[in-house]
Structures are given as C-alpha cells and as structure tokens.
Structure 1
C-alpha cells in the first residue's frame, strides 16, 4: 500500500505538523484580537474571549510546542532535498 511508504509517512508527518502549527497559532492570535476588541471586558468571565484564549494556548503546547513542530517540519523538508 502506497500510503505506508516511508515517503508518504514523512509527507503526512510534515503536513500534519504544519496544519497543527498554523491553526494553533491562528487560534491564539484570533482570541487575542477578540480580547483587544472587547477591552477590559475580554478578561472577565461574562465574555468567552478569555477562555478561548486559554484554550487556544493549550493547542499551541499540547503534543509538543510550536518550536518542536517547526523543527519537525524543517527536518522533513531537509530530508526531501536529499
């Protein structure tokens, strides 16, 4: 099966790391923008922006930090050039 070749596994790993990295950082940025737009209300519990920001930060550090994902992507890109 072609999906189990080492090349396919490398591509899948790189693409998955890229998707997780992008979406986690974008979620954190968007939640931060929501807090900015709400001003002081962004920090109180009556608005969900603070909770969304905390949840988004967990996506960045869950299953490895953004730096680890960047290293994995770089390693896979370097392996493609060999």
Structure 2
C-alpha cells in the first residue's frame, strides 16, 4: 500500500504531517512492509525523508514510511479513511 495506491499525493498528507509534534510520546498505529498491524507508544523525533519517501522518525531509530502510518496520537491519516471504525482499542 503506497500513496499511489490511494490516488493521493504527498500534498494530501501535508495536513497530517503538520500534526506531528517532535519530541512527543504518542500512541502510534502503522502497517509493516508485510502489512502487519502494529500499535505502540513511541517518542517521535519528527518527519524526515529517506530515499525520497517521507518517514516518521522515532527515538528508537525506526523510520516508518508516512504512507504506512494509520494514526498518530489518535489522528487518523487521510490514507486510511474510516479505519477507526474497524480497529479495536484493546
């Protein structure tokens, strides 16, 4: 799943990127490269770029592609509309 799969551009993610607060500990939900759902609490360093892809940079050294991030601190990505209806908070 990439930005192109959703017929979106990086401009469509600009509002979502603006919600990222550096040096904040947040609940993060994302999909791995194998489409595994991960829910974790992490310290966000900010938004960066690796190989031309926007990434969410975490204090533990992970660089998660922004097009795989489902939500940050409860804010749903525009790439996953309606996803909150299907996820459980368990």
Higher strand share: 2
Highest Rg: 1 or 2?
Answer: 1
Higher helix fraction (1 or 2): 1
**TM-score calculated relative to the size of structure 2:** 0.21
Q: What is the TM-score with the length of structure 1 in the denominator?
A: 0.22
